């Protein structure tokens, strides 16, 4: 049995959970601090058995890919099998993340993007784990070949045969998707101070390049972020005067920065300040706190089934009282609000993602695509297909 202390250190260093089991795959346990409850390797016996069988049949670690984008690993060491993952080498859409969680019956409330890294870094992790457990070296090329991670196609160009690798080359720069950006902006608009820092960190790490000069790049990013956050704060209920007052203050602070580190830190704090401003505004708004809590619950749970009793229990009041207060404050029923909220989210996906109508319907939790289509047409006065055709962004269909 490998020294667990070293495996725990490896987990922390790479940020990838490691588990172990015997050849039956029935009792999968973690070696370190990662939760065993939120990982397919501790939930799906089918996935674990597939990895073990693959590891038995080859002389190098097994690498299994699900949904065409998410990787899991298995290293055989004597009578034990060490499992790890999930890892991505390319960005997933929120629809794909939702499908991943749904397939392995993981709680929708815990949905997050699997750790993302370059292909080379992922292979280095597997190689390092194999060497730690077995004392043997394995090259990345052999790992890819044995696990069928390279697909060769003959493409005739001037009588030459060209090898095509489907995985992205090392050094590929990951740019955040619109959906990631929307995720952060939704967080600001909803006053979600608990999650904003974590969400924003991922966004900043994959932001596009706004200038060849590093200092100007970060300065421009901070100004753009502040501008966008100002709009979202106003949409979240903050008065324009308060939002612009904070915006002016932050932009003046950005102008005074002389170091990149100062701008980076200010950018992160500005996101939090706008989110906190929305949260504080909601606390003092004329709407009942029950109504606001109900809206917050819906915004966090709209992509799976929502029951009135669950909302009422989460808030701590009776269903009847919640329904009356919500209607008094908003003039509409809670179920109507839920439908409208889902349709708005679906509209964003239709405009800014390449997910299919079926995937979007499932993501915003409609029972069928036909039901989704009829409700969407009722609210938007056109079908989902017509809406996408009218408002789609060219970058998703080029």
CATH number at residue 126: 3.30.450
**Residues 93 and 206 reside in one and the same domain:** no
* pLDDT digit string, tens, across residues 203-219: 555 445 545 677 877 78
**Is the predicted pLDDT of residue 191 greater than 80, yes or no?**
yes
Q: Please tell me the predicted confidence (pLDDT) of residue 397.
A: 46
Please report whether residue 245 resides in a domain. yes
| 140 vs 107, residue with greater confidence | 140
b/e per residue 369-395 (b: at least 16 CB within 10 A) = beebbebbeeebeeebeebbeeeeeee
- pLDDT, position 334: 94
- Domain final residue pick, 130, 146, 162: 146
H-helix or E-strand containing 352?
helix 334-352
Higher-scoring residue by pLDDT: 175, 150: 150
Residue 295 inside a domain? The answer is no
Domain total in the chain: 2
In which domain, by residue range, is 188 found? 178-284
Please indicate, yes or no, whether residues 123 and 51 belong to a single structural domain of this protein. yes
Q: Which residue has the higher pLDDT, 245 or 337?
A: 337
Rounded distance between C-alpha atoms, residue 338 and residue 299, angstroms? 9
Nearest to 119 by CA among 146, 149, 94, 74: 149
Same domain, 265 and 191: yes
In angstroms, the CA 199 to CA 194 distance is 10
Quote the pLDDT of residue 174: 39
Residue 386 pLDDT grade (very low, low, confident, very high; cuts 50, 70, 90):
very high
> Is 394 inside any structural domain?
no
pLDDT digits (tens, 9 = 90+) for 221-243: 788 888 888 888 887 777 777 88
The answer on 41 and 83 residing in a single domain is yes
Q: What is the token pair recorded at 157?
A: 């160009």
Length in residues, the chain: 398
Q: Are residues 114 and 189 in the same domain?
A: no
Residue 338 maps to a domain: no
Mean pLDDT of 286-297: 76
Task: Give a yes or no: residue 316 inside a domain.
Answer: no
pLDDT digits (tens, 9 = 90+) for 304-342: 889 999 899 888 888 888 898 898 888 899 999 999 999
Checking if the pLDDT of 177 tops 90, the result is no
- Is the separation of the CB atoms in 82 and 100 below 8 Å? no
In a domain, 92, yes or no: yes
The answer to whether residue 267 sits within a structural domain is: yes
Same domain, 12 and 142: yes
Chosen domain end from 284, 299, 320: 284
Q: How many CB atoms are closer than 10 A to CB 260?
A: 14
Higher pLDDT, 375 or 3: 375
CB 62 within 8 A of CB 41: no
User: Is 199's pLDDT higher than 50?
Assistant: yes
Q: Are residues 188 and 131 in the same domain?
A: no
Q: Do 44 and 141 fall into the same domain?
A: yes
Task: Please check whether residues 24 and 137 belong to one and the same domain.
Answer: yes
pLDDT band at 4 (very low <50, low <70, confident <90, very high): low
Give the global pTM.
0.52
- Residue 141 and residue 184 share a domain: no
Other residues' Cβ atoms within 10 Å of the Cβ of residue 100: 21
pLDDT band at 162 (very low <50, low <70, confident <90, very high): very low
Answer yes or no: is pLDDT of 154 > 60.
no
Residue 72 DSSP label:
E
Give the number of other Cβ atoms within 10 Å of residue 295's Cβ.
20
Please tell me the distance from the alpha carbon of residue 159 to that of residue 336, in angstroms, as a whole number: 62
Residue 62 confidence class, pLDDT cut points 50, 70, 90: very high
pLDDT at 259: 86
Asked whether 31 and 19 are in contact (CB, 8 A), the reply is yes
- Locate 29 and state its tokens: 């346990």
Give a yes or no: residue 37 inside a domain.
yes
Q: What pLDDT does residue 182 have?
A: 66
State which of 284, 305, 324 marks the end of a domain: 284
For 61, other C-beta atoms within 10 Å of its C-beta total 25
Is the confidence at residue 349, as pLDDT, over 50? yes
pLDDT at 51: 92
**Angle ∠(106,110,349) on CA atoms, nearest 5:** 95
CA distance 242 to 375: 37
Higher pLDDT, 67 or 199: 67
Looking at the chain, the whole-number percentage of residues with pLDDT higher than 70 is 82
């Amino acid at each position: 049995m490998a020294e667990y202390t070293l495996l725990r250190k490896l987990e922390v260093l790479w940020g990838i959970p490691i588990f172990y089991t015997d050849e039956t795959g029935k009792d999968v346990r973690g070696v370190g601090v990662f939760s065993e409850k939120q990982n397919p390797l501790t939930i799906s016996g089918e996935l674990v058995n597939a990895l073990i069988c693959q590891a038995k049949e080859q002389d190098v670690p097994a690498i299994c890919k699900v949904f065409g984008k998410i990787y899991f690993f298995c290293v055989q060491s004597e009578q034990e099998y060490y499992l790890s993952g999930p890892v991505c080498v390319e960005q997933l859409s929120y629809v794909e993340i939702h499908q991943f969680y749904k397939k392995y019956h993981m709680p929708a409330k815990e949905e997050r993007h699997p750790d993302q890294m370059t292909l080379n870094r992922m292979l280095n992790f597997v190689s390092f784990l194999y060497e730690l457990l077995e004392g043997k070296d394995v090259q990345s090329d052999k790992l890819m070949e044995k696990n069928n991670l390279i697909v060769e196609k003959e493409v005739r160009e001037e009588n030459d045969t060209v090898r095509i690798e489907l995985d992205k080359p090392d050094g590929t720069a990951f740019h955040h998707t619109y959906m990631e950006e929307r995720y952060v902006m939704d967080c600001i608009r909803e006053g979600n101070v608990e999650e904003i820092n974590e969400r924003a960190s991922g966004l900043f790490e994959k932001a596009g390049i706004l200038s060849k000069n590093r200092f100007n790049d970060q300065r421009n990013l901070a100004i753009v972020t502040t501008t966008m956050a100002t709009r979202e704060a106003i949409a979240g209920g903050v008065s324009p005067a308060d939002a612009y007052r904070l915006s002016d203050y932050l932009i003046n602070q950005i102008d005074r920065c002389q170091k990149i580190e100062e701008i980076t830190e200010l950018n992160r704090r500005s996101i939090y300040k706008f989110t906190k401003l929305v949260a504080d505004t909601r606390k003092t708004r004329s709407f009942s706190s029950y109504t606001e809590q109900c809206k917050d619950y819906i915004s966090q749970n709209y992509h799976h089934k929502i029951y009135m009793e669950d909302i009422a229990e989460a808030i701590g009041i009776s269903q009847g009282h919640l329904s009356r207060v919500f209607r008094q404050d908003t003039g509409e029923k809670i179920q109507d609000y839920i439908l409208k909220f889902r349709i708005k989210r679906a509209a964003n996906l239709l405009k800014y993602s390449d997910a299919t109508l079926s995937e979007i319907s499932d993501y915003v939790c409609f029972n069928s695509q036909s039901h989704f289509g009829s409700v969407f047409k009722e609210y938007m006065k056109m079908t989902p297909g017509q809406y996408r055709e009218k408002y789609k962004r060219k970058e998703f269909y080029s």
